[in-house]
């Protein structure tokens, strides 16, 4: 499966929609691609329209995360494209940001449509409902908050984009699937009130519910209490069972499509989550259907939660939803996704080949029976999974019943929210209510202690609450002269040679104080961050936590690979919960007298976690021409650094990679 659609077989609109869909999926799976890279990889004739749509998507996610994209930031980031971006930046950030930040934009109730500022594109009514404001948009459509003048309530309206609605096949499919979803009436499925057509554009109407998505909950609290975890899993399984009994497969079960009705600001778990509901059957298909494609011709679903057979584009049945449910349960139990990677292709490869460790190995508080059930749900072969969603619900109920009665813990301080009620936002793959999985998590609560099964959960899980990566993006020219960028895990990045342009990327979740270093083939070490890149003596007096970094040279350009002789170079990331107290001389001492790393093949590379080699991850498997265990190999370097830095590091990642010399590059 290619990350980039083929312009030769698709219309310009289809290419843009496909790229937007992939970009949104990246945000939802926690690995958003840099917007500039996506635009640069597209044909020049499409870049303006593509840039407008991608910036709108990024703006939605960043605003919800509390990190809105400002005009100043956008001008700096996108200056590489030239002056044509300025009108788009003004349109999306100067005008619509003012609209979204308006106090009336968050008011609720029958009169809110009279108070909210209106965009020229905002319809006054849809199907007799008075539109209040836009909640989100995506490649396939838009979602509005609206008032029901007859029912004295608010609803969410999903409406197709006109260009898709003009396709008779697309219109028929939307209406058919919406009517199928209407047939599922269950306490744990979000209802569809109405399906209709307005100005030849289909729409459906759903409730606007109070609460939050499971994605939001996990972004704030990666390890929810065990009891809550079991309740959510059981109720989602019951909702899926109801859909399966009607002959529907959801095909996009994920935390963002799991709604938690309740009051997130309460200190009581039972009030925080009164009921879990499955929502958005926009990708649902009949169990006997053979079409595994979305409207734009791509495999549907969200990569990190997609069953192997679905990722491979094969026909799916209800057991694909069970795999997705298993991926949700795994994330709740382990505090991290079962399958991750730097690109969508990498995630899909992991789903097909990677076997994650059982949740109980990462979180000893998890009941053994629950851990075993999750691993059964994640079986690669559909026939090895549980027989039905109802069987899963029964198993979770039995585990819940078998647990000791929890002792009520002291009331915890409630999380303060800006709104007393959070409105459910329904979109075509874009959830304005969804916090990206790689968002900074500076305030993280520990799971409720549940004696006697749970010794202190934080102490038991400890560093596993951190996850992240460090990588190098390598600039390449496509055959048509367009600019591309590839991580080290992509074969198209190789071989590296003098003169290549690169930039350093790093991610850590939750946010931490990050320190990046570049170790060249001679063992010489240069600071990358938070110092001015490559310049010792420039460490800032005040440091800030970071969750995602893209580092270029001191002039803001991509680094240029240098070096006369071939060898191995290393990117080293150290992350801490508190600022590093060591002096600069002490830090330099960590890297003093390091052994040179000899050249070991033009594509040699190795990844490290905890100063140890990553061996069994297919996305980061070592490729090395020599004996990787030798003292002068990358592993020997990590052993040395572990002895020197280990006690100073709460979390660390590294990658060593080969680089050709001038002689080999000729």
Q: Specify the pTM.
A: 0.48
Among candidate residues 420, 459, 419, 465, the one with its CA nearest the CA of residue 442: 465
pLDDT tens readout for residues 34-64: 898 888 888 888 888 889 889 988 887 777 6
Q: Can you tell me the distance from the alpha carbon of 323 to that of 320, in angstroms, rounded to the nearest whole number? A: 5
Task: State the pLDDT at residue 662.
Answer: 80
Task: State the pLDDT at residue 121.
Answer: 65
Least confident of 22-26, 204-208, 342-346, 363-367: 342-346
What count of other Cβ atoms lies within 10 Å of the Cβ of residue 648? 16
Please enumerate in sequence order all residues whose Cβ is within 8 A of that of 305, keeping only pairs 6 or more positions apart, or say none. Answer: 252, 253, 254, 255, 324, 327, 328
Burial class (CB in 10 A: 0-12, 13-18, 19+), 606: buried
Is the separation of the CB atoms in 208 and 108 below 8 Å? no
Higher pLDDT, 209 or 630: 209
Q: Identify the band that residue 292 occupies on the pLDDT scale cut at 50, 70 and 90.
A: very low
Please enumerate in sequence order all residues whose Cβ is within 8 A of that of 391, keeping only pairs 6 or more positions apart, or say none. Answer: none
Task: State the pLDDT at residue 248.
Answer: 87
Q: How many residues belong to the chain? A: 666
Q: Percent of the chain having pLDDT more than 70?
A: 76
The radius of gyration of the chain from alpha carbons, rounded to an integer in Å, stands at 25
Q: Can you tell me the distance from the alpha carbon of 550 to that of 532, in angstroms, rounded to the nearest whole number? A: 13
SS3 514: strand
Q: Identify the band that residue 15 occupies on the pLDDT scale cut at 50, 70 and 90.
A: confident
Least confident of 79-88, 219-228, 313-322, 403-412: 403-412
Whether 173 has a pLDDT exceeding 80, the answer reads no
Is the separation of the CB atoms in 473 and 500 below 8 Å? no
Is the separation of the CB atoms in 425 and 135 below 8 Å? yes
Whether 18 has a pLDDT exceeding 60, the answer reads yes
**Cα pseudo-dihedral 39, 26, 13, 146, rounded to 10:** -120
Least confident of 195-204, 210-219, 405-414, 608-617: 405-414
Question: What burial letters (b/e) apply to 305-331, b meaning 16+ CB within 10 Å?
Answer: bbbbbbbeeeebbbbbbbbbbbbbbbb
Q: Euclidean distance between the first and final Cα of the chain, in Å?
A: 33
Mean per-residue pLDDT of the chain: 77
Whether 583 has a pLDDT exceeding 50, the answer reads yes
Beta pairing, strands 153-160 & 194-198: unpaired
Name the phi and psi angles at 376, rounded to 5.
Answer: -70, -40
Higher pLDDT, 89 or 619: 89
Q: Identify the band that residue 174 occupies on the pLDDT scale cut at 50, 70 and 90.
A: confident
> Bridge partners of 550?
505
Active site residue 147: no
Whether 295 has a pLDDT exceeding 60, the answer reads no
Among residues 252, 471, 500, 520, which one is catalytic?
A: 252
Beta pairing, strands 285-286 & 612-613: unpaired
Task: State the pLDDT at residue 233.
Answer: 97
Q: Identify the band that residue 343 occupies on the pLDDT scale cut at 50, 70 and 90.
A: low
pLDDT tens readout for residues 405-462: 544 433 333 333 332 233 333 333 333 233 333 332 232 333 333 233 333 233 333 3
Residue 109: HSE in the Cβ half-sphere, 13 Å Cα cutoff: 5
Whether 291 has a pLDDT exceeding 50, the answer reads no
Name the phi and psi angles at 92, rounded to 5.
Answer: -90, -35
If you search the block for the tokens 């800032």, which residue do you land on? 540
Among candidate residues 273, 276, 158, 141, the one with its CA nearest the CA of residue 207: 158
Higher pLDDT, 279 or 533: 533
Token pair belonging to 180: 């199928």
Is the separation of the CB atoms in 292 and 311 below 8 Å? no
């Amino acid at each position: 499966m290619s990350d980039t659609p083929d312009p030769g077989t698709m219309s310009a609109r289809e290419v843009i929609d496909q790229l937007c869909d992939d970009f949104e999926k990246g945000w939802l799976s926690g690995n958003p691609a840099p917007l500039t890279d996506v635009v640069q990889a597209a044909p020049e004739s499409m870049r303006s329209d593509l840039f407008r749509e991608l910036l709108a998507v990024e703006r939605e996610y960043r605003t919800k995360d509390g990190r809105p994209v400002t005009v100043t930031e956008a001008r700096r980031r996108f200056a590489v494209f030239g002056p044509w971006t300025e009108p788009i930046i003004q349109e999306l950030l100067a005008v619509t940001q003012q609209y979204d930040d308006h106090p009336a934009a968050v008011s609720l109730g029958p009169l809110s449509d009279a108070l909210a500022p209106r965009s020229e594109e905002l319809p006054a009514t849809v199907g007799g409902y008075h539109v209040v404001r836009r909640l989100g948009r995506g490649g396939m459509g838009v979602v509005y908050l609206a008032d029901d003048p007859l029912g004295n309530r608010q609803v969410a309206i999903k409406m197709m984009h006109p260009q898709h609605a003009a396709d008779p096949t697309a219109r028929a499919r939307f209406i058919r699937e919406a009517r199928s979803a209407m047939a599922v009436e269950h306490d744990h499925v979000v209802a569809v009130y109405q399906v209709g057509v307005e100005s030849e554009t289909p729409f459906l109407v759903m409730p606007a519910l109070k609460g939050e998505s499971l994605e939001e909950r996990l972004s704030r609290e990666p390890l929810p209490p065990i009891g809550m975890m079991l309740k959510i899993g059981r109720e989602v399984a019951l909702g899926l069972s109801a859909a399966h009994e009607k002959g529907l497969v959801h095909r996009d079960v994920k935390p963002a499509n799991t709604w938690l009705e309740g009051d997130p600001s309460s200190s009581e778990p039972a009030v925080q989550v009164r009921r879990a509901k499955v929502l958005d059957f926009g990708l649902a298909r009949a169990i006997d259907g053979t079409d595994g494609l979305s409207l734009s011709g791509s495999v549907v679903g969200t990569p990190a939660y997609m069953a192997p057979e679905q990722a491979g584009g094969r026909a799916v049945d209800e057991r694909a939803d069970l795999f997705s449910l298993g991926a949700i349960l795994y994330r709740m139990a382990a505090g991290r996704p079962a399958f991750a990677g730097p690109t969508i292709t990498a995630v899909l490869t992991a789903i097909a080949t990677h076997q994650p460790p059982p949740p109980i190995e990462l979180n000893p508080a998890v009941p053994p029976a629950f851990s075993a059930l999750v691993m059964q749900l994640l079986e690669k072969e559909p026939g090895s999974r549980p027989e039905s969603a109802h069987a899963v619900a029964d198993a979770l109920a039995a585990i819940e019943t078998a647990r000791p009665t929890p002792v009520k813990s002291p009331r915890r301080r409630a999380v303060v929210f800006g709104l007393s009620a959070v409105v459910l936002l329904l979109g075509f793959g874009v959830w304005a209510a969804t916090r990206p999985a790689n968002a900074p998590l500076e305030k993280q609560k520990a799971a409720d202690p549940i004696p006697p099964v749970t010794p202190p959960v934080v102490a038991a899980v400890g560093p596993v609450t951190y996850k992240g990566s460090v990588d190098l993006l390598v600039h390449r020219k496509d055959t048509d002269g367009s600019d591309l960028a590839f991580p080290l895990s992509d074969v198209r990045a190789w071989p590296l040679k003098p003169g290549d342009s690169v930039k350093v990327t790093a991610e850590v979740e939750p946010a931490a104080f990050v320190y990046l270093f570049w170790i060249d083939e001679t063992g010489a070490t240069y600071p990358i961050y938070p110092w001015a890149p490559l310049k010792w003596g420039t460490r800032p007096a005040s440091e800030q936590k970071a969750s995602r970094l893209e580092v270029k040279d001191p002039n803001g350009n991509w680094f240029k690979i240098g070096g006369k002789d071939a060898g191995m170079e290393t990117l080293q990331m150290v992350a801490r919960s508190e600022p590093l107290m060591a002096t600069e001389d002490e830090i330099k001492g960590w890297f003093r007298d390091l052994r040179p790393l000899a050249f070991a093949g033009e594509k040699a590379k190795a990844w490290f976690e905890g100063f140890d080699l990553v061996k069994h991850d297919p996305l980061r498997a070592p490729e090395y021409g020599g004996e990787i265990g030798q003292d002068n190999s990358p592993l020997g370097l990590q052993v040395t650094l572990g002895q020197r830095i280990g006690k100073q590091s709460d979390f660390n990642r590294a990658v060593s990679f080969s680089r050709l010399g001038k002689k080999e590059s000729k």
